[in-house]
Amino acid sequence: MTVLKALMISLILLTFCSKLSATVITEVKALDGIKAWLVEEHSIPFVTLEIRFKGGATLDRVGKGGSVYFMSALLNEGADDLDASAFAMEMERLAVELDINVYQDSLSISFKFLTENKSASINLLKKALTKPRFEQEPFERVRDQILSILKSNAKDPRKIASKVFFENVFGSHPYGSMKDGSLESILSLNREDILNAYDDVFNRNQVFISAVGDIKPNELRDLVNEVIEEIPTRSNKVIDQVIYKLPGGNTIIDFDTPQSVTIFGHDGIKRTDKDFFSAYVLTHILGGSGFGSRLMTELREKNGLTYGVSAYLASWEKADLILGQFASSNNTVMEAIGIVKNEWATLADRGVTADELRDAKTFLTGAYPLRFDGNSRIARILTGMQIQGLPIDYIHTRNAKVNAVTMEDIKRVATRILKEKNLYFVIVGRPTP
């Protein structure tokens, strides 16, 4: 690490760590024992509310792939007494922002509103979440939009690689399907399917809430109660644990492009595992951000085989993987795969150097406070902590856990989790031997 880089990181730490250390999270108790987390920030008169329902795309019923994704896109297309146009006009009048996203394990609702418009804004949000209209005109329009996205994805090598990788790794498990479904499944969906998806997702038993901004604990309690009081309590749908299909080796998807896109990986480590932080630091050294990782050094700096490469831990509710990706020309991609496998084996056998461990800790602890640079990001972090079962003081203890990782930990965990022979590669392109 250069002196200049070290100085820059030090300045970042001085600026943001003090802000992070001053962050106070208050737990607010609402209906049915629901606990909302709050960070008060009264200097700017607006609030970011993050509501997350556990389940997400995994709740798609058999043969109804993409139904949760489709349903989520209709939530701001009219509700209660407001059709799609009137709903949009009301959002504009109140200056609110409503952002809804679906992931494999959750559906998230991010809602920003001005303090002065709190009552009317929350009333609008409540309508969207409890009385969506799901009318025919927006249904057809949104379906056309999703179909257009799917057709575009079918021509995107990265999307193709992801689709094939997860299909082959997870098989018939919901993780084996893309969250936005397929052309066939989306075309087959009707309003009843959308209503079923809504009923499956919106479950008071599975809700997690955070807020950041100009709001007090008692106000947040009342707000949460108002929003969720009409959301029913349902039995939780049981999602099967994944049985991995990771035989190792390569799958090649023929695609007319001068550059092959490659996604690779194997089974990983649970977020609750005692070795998780050691694995986290290890994976950063192997393929983390920036130019200092093992894979970036070998593939780009020494051999010029790719512009960028990454490897990281991916954790879901029912599965954990170590994933990576890169792109290389058709005539060099197999050489690049060989180097990836060699670095995997070398790191598992020899561990890391003291300099690598020191630099990784410096980066990871310095970068963490940078995540807390806005109300929206903080709210997402807090809700993510809840859904993962992390304690409320995690933001203040996380860096200590990173710094506690030793050379011995890295060596032991590298031997445990890095399995070069299990690496599975999906290559989209026309690689030459």
Please compute the mean of the pLDDT values over residues 263-288 and round it to a whole number. Answer: 96
- Checking if the pLDDT of 120 tops 70, the result is yes
Beta-carbon contacts of 341 under 8 Å, excluding residues fewer than 6 positions away, are 420, 423
Residue 252 pLDDT: 98
Residue 108 pLDDT: 98
- 241, part of any domain: no
User: Residue 73's closest CA among 187, 197, 158?
Assistant: 197
Alpha helices in 242-374 (DSSP H): 276-287, 294-296, 333-350, 354-367
- 185, part of any domain: yes
**Same domain, residue pair 174 and 256:** no
List, for residues 382-415, the tens digit of each pLDDT value: 999 999 999 999 999 999 999 999 999 999 999 9
Please tell me which residue, 9 or 318, carries the higher pLDDT value: 318
- 242, part of any domain: no
- Checking if the pLDDT of 360 tops 50, the result is yes
Residue 363 pLDDT: 94
Number of domains in the chain: 2
**Same domain, residue pair 218 and 255:** no
Residue 19 pLDDT: 59
**Same domain, residue pair 25 and 103:** yes
Q: Which domain does 306 fall in, by range?
A: 249-429
Please compute the mean of the pLDDT values over residues 341-359 and round it to a whole number. Answer: 96
Residue 254 pLDDT: 97
Phi, psi of 311 (to 5 degrees): -145, 140
Tokens of 151: 């057709």
Average per-residue pLDDT for the chain: 93
**Same domain, residue pair 191 and 317:** no
User: Residue 54 belongs to a domain with what CATH number?
Assistant: 3.30.830.10
Q: Are 174 and 185 in contact (CB under 8 A)?
A: no
**Same domain, residue pair 259 and 322:** yes
Q: Are 407 and 254 in contact (CB under 8 A)?
A: no
List, for residues 31-86, the tens digit of each pLDDT value: 989 999 999 999 999 999 999 999 999 999 999 999 999 999 999 999 999 999 99
Please compute the mean of the pLDDT values over residues 111-124 and round it to a whole number. Answer: 97
- 192, part of any domain: yes
- Euclidean distance between CA atoms 308 and 305, whole angstroms: 9
How many of the other CB atoms lie within 10 Å of CB of 397?
10
Question: 228, 259, 277 — which closes off a domain?
Answer: 228
Beta-carbon contacts of 79 under 8 Å, excluding residues fewer than 6 positions away, are 87, 124, 127, 128, 131, 132, 133
Question: 198, 228, 258 — which closes off a domain?
Answer: 228
- 236, part of any domain: no
Beta-carbon contacts of 218 under 8 Å, excluding residues fewer than 6 positions away, are none
Please compute the mean of the pLDDT values over residues 295-321 and round it to a whole number. Answer: 95
For residue 37, the one-letter residue type is W
CA 173 to chain centre: 19
Residue 14 pLDDT: 53
Residue with tokens 């057809």: 140
- Euclidean distance between CA atoms 331 and 258, whole angstroms: 9
**Same domain, residue pair 223 and 159:** yes
Alpha helices in 95-247 (DSSP H): 118-130, 136-153, 157-170, 183-188, 191-201, 217-228
> Which DSSP symbol is given to 236?
P
- Euclidean distance between CA atoms 269 and 320, whole angstroms: 6
Residue 282 pLDDT: 97
Residue 8 pLDDT: 46
How many of the other CB atoms lie within 10 Å of CB of 277?
19
Quickly state the pLDDT bin for 20 (edges 50, 70, 90).
low
- Checking if the pLDDT of 247 tops 80, the result is no
**Same domain, residue pair 308 and 222:** no
- 237, part of any domain: no
Residue 17 pLDDT: 55
**Same domain, residue pair 140 and 195:** yes
Decide the pairing of beta strands 207-213 and 35-40. Answer: parallel
Quickly state the pLDDT bin for 3 (edges 50, 70, 90).
very low
**Same domain, residue pair 125 and 178:** yes
Question: 176, 194, 228 — which closes off a domain?
Answer: 228
List, for residues 178-214, the tens digit of each pLDDT value: 999 999 999 999 999 999 999 999 999 999 999 999 9
- 1, part of any domain: no
